[in-house]
Amino acid sequence: MSEDTNEYVCEFCGEDFKSGSKKAGHISWYHRDDRQEEDLITELQRLATEKGRPPEMGEMDTKGGTISAASIDGRQLRVSCLDRRA
């Protein structure tokens, strides 16, 4: 029985894996920061859409899901406001 490895491809680097758990381990080990940054950007975009403008630091702490602005690690990330309605 042949297993199709295409469903176990790392979305960050394209490496193929024989199982979902091997892929998850790889992402956890090699792409942890990539995943956190992706989650942070998604949450920032959600708040920007909700508010009609990029969220302020205090809003990230009080309304920003499980992601804290501290996850930025000192880097500034640009967030475009997806919905301009107030």
SS3 77: coil
* Residuewise pLDDT in 10s, the chain (86 residues): 455 546 899 988 999 999 999 999 998 888 888 778 888 888 888 888 988 988 887 777 666 554 444 334 455 554 444 433 33
Q: Give the whole-angstrom CA distance, residue 25 versus residue 8.
A: 12
Kindly state whether residues 22 and 47 are assigned to the same domain.
no
Looking at residue 79, its pLDDT comes to 46
Domain containing 61 equals: 32-86
In this structure, what is the dihedral angle of CA atoms 39, 40, 43, 47, given to the nearest 10 degrees?
-170
Kindly state whether residues 24 and 53 are assigned to the same domain.
no
- The model's pTM is 0.45
Name residue 9's beta-bridge partners. 16
Name the DSSP letter for residue 81: -
Looking at residue 71, its pLDDT comes to 39
Contact (Cβ atoms closer than 8 angstroms) between residue 13 and residue 31: yes
SS3 80: coil
Kindly state whether residues 48 and 6 are assigned to the same domain.
no
Looking at residue 6, its pLDDT comes to 64
